[in-house]
Structure 1
Amino acid sequence: MKRVYSLCPLYLALCPLLIAPALAQSTADPVTVTGTRTPTDLSRAPLIVDIIDRDDAVLATAGRIEDVLSRQPGLHVAGPGRRNGQTLSMRGFGRQGVLVRLDGVRQDISTGHVGNFFLDPALIQEVQIARGALSSLYGSNAMGGVVSFTSVEAKDLLAPGQDSGARLSVGGATANDELRGSLTAFGRHAAPSGQVDGLISIGRSESGDIRRAGGEEAEDDASLNSLLVKGGWEPSSDQRVFISWQHYDERATQPANPQQLSRDASNPLRDRNVESNNLQLGHRWQPGQATEITSRLTFSQQDIDEPQASRTLERVGLQSDGYHTINHGWLSQTLVFGGELEQARQRPEGNANGFPKADIDTQAAYLDTTLTAGRYLAEGGAGQFDVGLGARYDRYDATGQGDADSVHDQVSPRFRLAWRPDEALMLFSGYAEAFRAPSLSELYANERHFAGFCAGPFFCTPDNYWVPNPNLSPESSHTWESGVVWHQGDWQVRASYFDTRADDFIDTQVDIMAGTTQAVNVQRAQLWGYDARVAWQPGAFPLLTSFIGLSEVSGKDRDSGGALGSQTPMEVTLGSEVALYNHDVRIGWQSRLARDFDKQGDDERLPGYGLHDVHLAWRLTPAIDTSLRLANLVDKVWYRPDGSLGDGRSLFATLNWQW
């Protein structure tokens, strides 16, 4: 991909002047931001964060993760639409370099070509996409950012003054002939021992072959059953005990490699059952707005069952996270702190390939502090300054059957500085280190990878076997990022530029003639790019909101100079929504535009694209509402940076009845 240094400043300078304008999160109310772990006004958060909530037409109509994330600037969900084949890339890092969390618990099973999004969007209340190196708060995998999914609770559905209710949702999508439905019951009760609340939701989905852009189809026959049970008890106003169970069970007939568009002799159809369970028991103590500590005991299990083979990952963890704000008069201080203990166990059965029997124990602790001092220029000061300093210590001890232990520790520091000359403007810059621990499969896989073959009567190759490599080092990165946040009147602007140097990329080396496959540390990379968001809500017409997002990621091998990393072309995401009839009707449009770009790992040049979506949300009565979204309106043929075919035209619809 071409370098973009000359274009980047121009795009960032012009961003506030573009006619349509960006980021739906125009609220100044504090939200708990993934990138800071504290309730923060987004105008004071020194990073790029995108938030998708349940009222967004994208999440309200989604049946799979691709439907939720596919229009986010700079983020790509790979695969031909099958739930089992969905992986993402962001900031130049692929699936292993972007941390996925579900209600605070990491989701990172690594097995062949199967993804790690085992959740039903119908159960999700909010998605936060925090971009940048965040290992100082979240540890391994958070090199390109963190994507956090939060499931719905009773308080999210209860109407004002309501203590109980039920909600029936039905919907579907035309691209894969999907029909889905869910039934949710929820309520709360004030007892002498404290308030109790709870929610139970059951869902079912049936879908078939998936139509991609231009009419090609990805074979798939899938059914999904989902369950969410959540409850809480508040013995006092400052304490809450909570428990939850999320269950996901998909049964599908699809190609053995679900990331390929179609089957062939080497990729036949296969029955696959994927089951995921996430349980947690926790306690939250919040004596005031300045302090909160949340502790949770978690258990998660992902089980992938195929003919003659199954793979199970079990994870038990204990974690505690918190923040505390101290006001010293002229100086305020925010502390963020936490610790984690976790054990993960892989257990293969039958002929499971590339998924060895192995365990990994992880211990971690982190501390981050932000100091705020100074007065704005208009008050006679030099401006208000934020100085942030933090670090996280991680240690992992991996053990594979019959192989040497792999023991490593990692310190991930982060430093940042922000200056606000007045209430409207903030300039920030910072440095952060991040890492990714090798997966158990990369460390200890030792079975046959694929069978040998004969290319002619006198040329045959042997069977190919995985070779363990317990000496693998973690991938690591060093990132500088600088940006600006500005909000004035009808406008909000957020923009940043980043430069990342990554070392010890873990790659897979296949030696056909020797009959071996092994994970090795090989590459030194440089990744650079920018993100920008602009939002506009005119005071003269507050029912209108508009947005624009801009992103580009480039990368190269620092040794050879060749292209490297999960690069993304220069992309613009823009749109607008207008609310009518006392907000009972919302009509909107969104587009994603990209210039032509180089296919990852190939000299092929892929064409640019322009995708257009329209949506309608309509509250017919206080009890009934519907959402419609027509994606890829003109059925544009387009490709992601990895060369996979993008989604085609599809009508998504959801109808909700709550009583």
Structure 2
Amino acid sequence: MKRLFALRPLCLALASLVASSAMAASATRDDAALDPVTVSGTRTPLDLSRAPLIIDIIDRNDAELATASRVEDILGRQPGLHVAGQGRRNGQTLSLRGFGRNGVLVRLDGVRQDITTGHLGNFFLDPALIQEVQIARGALSSLYGSNAMGGVVSFTSVDAKDLLAPGEQSGARLSVGGATANDEWRTNVSAFGRRDTLRGEVDGLVSLGRSESGDIRRAGGDEAEEDASLNSLLLKGGWEPSDDQRFFVSWQHYAERATQPANPQQLTSGASNALRDRDVTSNNVQLGHRWQPGAATELTTRLTFSQQEIDEPQANRTLDRVGLQSDGYHSMQHGWLSQTLAFGAEIEQARQRPDGEANGFPRADIDTQAAYLDTTLSAGRYLAEGGAGAFDVGLGARYDRYDASGVQDADSTHDRVSPRVRLAWLPNEGLMLFSGYAEAFRAPTLSELYANERHFAGFCAGPFFCTPDNYWVPNPHLSPETSNTWESGVVWHQGDWQMRASYFDTRADDFIDTEVDITAGTTQAVNVSRAQLWGYDARVTWQPSALPQWQGHLGLSEVSGKDRDSGAPLGSQTPLELALGSELALGEGKVRIGWQSRFAQDFDKQGDEGHLPGYGLHDIHLAWALAPSLDTTLRLANVGDKLWYRPDGSLGDGRSLLATLNWQW
């Protein structure tokens, strides 16, 4: 009954849109077409009005990214997406569309970021160095392979061209800022430029960042203990010997030193979660070439190296990853039929290397090979032109093979084909109805396959009952998690309004869970559940032509899940959530003031008898260009200091003033 009730608003919206579209079939869109952007969900440049998925894009001009110091600040208000943890950078993980951290692929400049060790997260990046974030929802293994079951979150670092003022060849930028919730201050210095030479244009950027922060104030006044400092570096350069060629190189360095609980996702420390010093270092290096002979064709090849190292007292964990990948697209016209191809291949080697008493992080290797091909065919004429409507047909698949091995344990070798098919119908230029089917998978982590050290020490619950030490038991026979997803939706543009909405239904098999046997003293990863996950997403924007300086937006999301055998709740469910916001530009755009809110229904915490209350959060922001070379952004998050909880039961962020001041010359 809850499922039908949750779907009712979407059904009513679809019915009204089809009706209004039929009445105005000959009308064209009044709003300007969006410039094509390379969309994570298609890997091709696309007008977002033709993208058959729910995607959100956050750039440096948005208050969330402009004032952020951690991933929670950027993504914390996205409907249907939750950042787990207590605000510490080391403990941030995502859940999206019912899938937790291992079912959501995170990419930084095209390189996956998925170190898996204990309760530590996989966001080792400085938001000051990020130009754009794309959140693509849905099963996307046909393009990205393992982990892309609930979606893909892609971070793109800033380039020299993003910072250069119009007509300028060089520049420098000083940014200072901070946040009151954790007594943080931060600074970033960047130098950038470009120059025309006899052998083509060259450009480069160097950016250095530093921040210091203390205990983190959570909702309701509780504090998460921490003392942290972060140093970051970004070096990027490029050479364009001709209009269609570009060679590029980059190095991103992240080094955080923190004193925090052993499990950074818990609020406080204690006897079983004592404070410890933790050093986290991440390096991402790539060397690449982009060939773009025209707007219809692009091929990018990159050699990548990444390393994440976590150093704690008497324990060290290092993940090295070397890869070679090539991705491209090509558009063709076959008379009445147009076709766009997206294609690519990659090979990668990943190596886990523990030292000392590193727990749950075995010495193991995994080699991956993959190739994908996706095509979109477009044909037809709109109803007003005498046709049956325009049609987009998409077909694609990706082949992945991985070979994992651990010390003294059997190898684990699996391959997987992830197909996707989709159909879109456009009765006129302002309306698109789409539906599709996709399969996705998640390969077991090396820790799930090969962990074999002590998990935790034994204990005595009384004078006559004691349990032995508990040890991980390897399971190299684990099968990958798999899923089948149907998704249908609508994209609508008319006058001042734009809307995008979809409903999805996912059947997932072979969920990987951790089975702990206290009496036997063993812990092992096992394939257990058959799950069903369903829900919907919707986005509405309004920019009135009578007041072009103002815009408003709305987001809606809900995710439900159950075990298909027992009917018990399952998956990273989220309650019905509504996000509202608006922004007004004044003084020819030099001043922007805005408001953003997020509301959620009350919710039964999964796996617990606890009931989480609903909430309403409000943020306000001000962006002000004080002078051509000076600007500031202020954001007051959780204005009312509302006590609220995420679906996993962790406290949300408390009231905080986040500020950034930029001076560029």
TM-score, normalised to structure 1, is: 0.98
Q: 1:109 aligns with which of 65, 90, 115?
A: 115
Tell me which amino acid in the other structure corresponds to 1:117.
F
Q: Secondary structure at the match of 1:455?
A: strand
What displacement does 1:603 show? 2.3
Tell me which amino acid in the other structure corresponds to 2:402.
Y
| Partners of 1:313 and 1:600 in 2: CA distance | 32
What displacement does 1:430 show? 0.1
What displacement does 1:456 show? 1.2
What displacement does 1:11 show? 4.8
Match of 2:28 in 1: none
| Partners of 1:9 and 1:294 in 2: CA distance | 44
Match of 1:153 in 2: 159
What displacement does 1:510 show? 0.3
In structure 2, the CA distance between the partners of 1:340 and 1:88, relative to structure 1 (3 Å rule), is same
Tell me which amino acid in the other structure corresponds to 1:163.
Q
| Partners of 1:17 and 1:67 in 2: CA distance | 36
| Partners of 1:143 and 1:600 in 2: CA distance | 20
| Partners of 2:215 and 2:427 in 1: CA distance | 56
Aligned pairs (5 A) from 1:326-341: 326-341=332-347
Aligned pairs (5 A) from 1:192-591: 192-591=198-597
What displacement does 1:574 show? 0.6
In structure 2, the CA distance between the partners of 1:612 and 1:480, relative to structure 1 (3 Å rule), is same
Q: Deviations over 1:115-166 (max 9, x none)?
A: 0000000000000000000000000000000000000000000111000000
| Partners of 2:150 and 2:2 in 1: CA distance | 19
Match of 1:9 in 2: 8
Q: 2:62 aligns with which of 56, 77, 82?
A: 56
Tell me which amino acid in the other structure corresponds to 1:336.
A
Contact preservation (8 Å) 2:10, 2:501? no
Q: Secondary structure at the match of 2:361?
A: coil
Q: 2:610 aligns with which of 589, 599, 604?
A: 604
What displacement does 1:315 show? 0.2
Contact preservation (8 Å) 2:483, 2:507? yes
What displacement does 1:4 show? 2.3
| Partners of 1:16 and 1:216 in 2: CA distance | 47
| Partners of 2:222 and 2:190 in 1: CA distance | 36
Q: Secondary structure at the match of 1:4?
A: helix
Contact preservation (8 Å) 2:421, 2:436? yes
Q: Secondary structure at the match of 1:143?
A: coil
| Partners of 1:406 and 1:111 in 2: CA distance | 19
Contact preservation (8 Å) 2:281, 2:309? yes
Match of 2:174 in 1: 168
Q: Secondary structure at the match of 2:246?
A: strand
Q: Secondary structure at the match of 2:206?
A: strand
Tell me which amino acid in the other structure corresponds to 1:545.
Q
| Partners of 2:455 and 2:114 in 1: CA distance | 22
In structure 1, stretches of 5+ residues that fail to align are 19-24
What displacement does 1:27 show? 6.2
Q: Secondary structure at the match of 1:156?
A: helix
What displacement does 1:10 show? 2.0
Match of 1:78 in 2: 84
Q: Deviations over 1:290-343 (max 9, x none)?
A: 000000000000000000000000000000000000001100000000001000
Match of 2:183 in 1: 177
Q: Deviations over 1:379-428 (max 9, x none)?
A: 11000001100000000000000000000000000000000011000000
| Partners of 1:15 and 1:79 in 2: CA distance | 37
| Partners of 1:4 and 1:74 in 2: CA distance | 16
Question: What is the RMSD computed on CA atoms of the aligned residues?
Answer: 1.3
Tell me which amino acid in the other structure corresponds to 1:7.
A
Q: Deviations over 1:617-638 (max 9, x none)?
A: 0000000000000000000000
Q: Deviations over 1:527-578 (max 9, x none)?
A: 0000000000000000001000000000000010000000000000011000
Contact preservation (8 Å) 1:366, 1:391? yes
- The alignment status of 1:633 with 2:639, answered yes or no, reads yes
What displacement does 1:605 show? 1.1
Q: Secondary structure at the match of 1:5?
A: helix
Match of 1:125 in 2: 131
What displacement does 1:5 show? 1.9
| Partners of 1:66 and 1:16 in 2: CA distance | 36
What displacement does 1:26 show? 8.5
In structure 2, the CA distance between the partners of 1:388 and 1:97, relative to structure 1 (3 Å rule), is same
Contact preservation (8 Å) 1:16, 1:534? no
What displacement does 1:9 show? 2.3
TM-score, normalised to structure 2, is: 0.97
Q: 2:106 aligns with which of 82, 85, 100?
A: 100
| Partners of 2:16 and 2:555 in 1: CA distance | 13
Tell me which amino acid in the other structure corresponds to 2:416.
Q
Contact preservation (8 Å) 1:12, 1:495? no
| Partners of 2:645 and 2:469 in 1: CA distance | 34
Aligned residue pairs, count: 652
- The alignment status of 1:619 with 2:625, answered yes or no, reads yes
Tell me which amino acid in the other structure corresponds to 1:39.
P
Task: Decide which moves more: 455-464 or 643-652.
Answer: 455-464
In structure 2, the CA distance between the partners of 1:26 and 1:16, relative to structure 1 (3 Å rule), is farther
| Partners of 2:337 and 2:33 in 1: CA distance | 26
| Partners of 1:27 and 1:384 in 2: CA distance | 17
Match of 2:601 in 1: 595
| Partners of 2:401 and 2:64 in 1: CA distance | 39
| Partners of 2:33 and 2:223 in 1: CA distance | 41
Q: Would you identify which runs of 4 or more consecutive aligned residues in structure 1 move more than 4 Å?
A: 14-18
| Partners of 1:536 and 1:16 in 2: CA distance | 20
What displacement does 1:3 show? 3.1
Q: Secondary structure at the match of 1:89?
A: strand
Q: Deviations over 1:211-234 (max 9, x none)?
A: 000100000000000000000000
| Partners of 2:248 and 2:15 in 1: CA distance | 44
Match of 1:21 in 2: none
Q: Deviations over 1:53-97 (max 9, x none)?
A: 000011000010000000001000000100000001000000000
Tell me which amino acid in the other structure corresponds to 1:4.
R
Contact preservation (8 Å) 1:16, 1:493? no
| Partners of 1:17 and 1:428 in 2: CA distance | 16
Contact preservation (8 Å) 1:3, 1:554? no
Contact preservation (8 Å) 1:103, 1:151? yes
Tell me which amino acid in the other structure corresponds to 2:485.
T
Q: Deviations over 1:414-456 (max 9, x none)?
A: 0000000110000000000000000000000000000111111
Match of 1:642 in 2: 648
Contact preservation (8 Å) 1:469, 1:520? yes
Match of 2:20 in 1: none
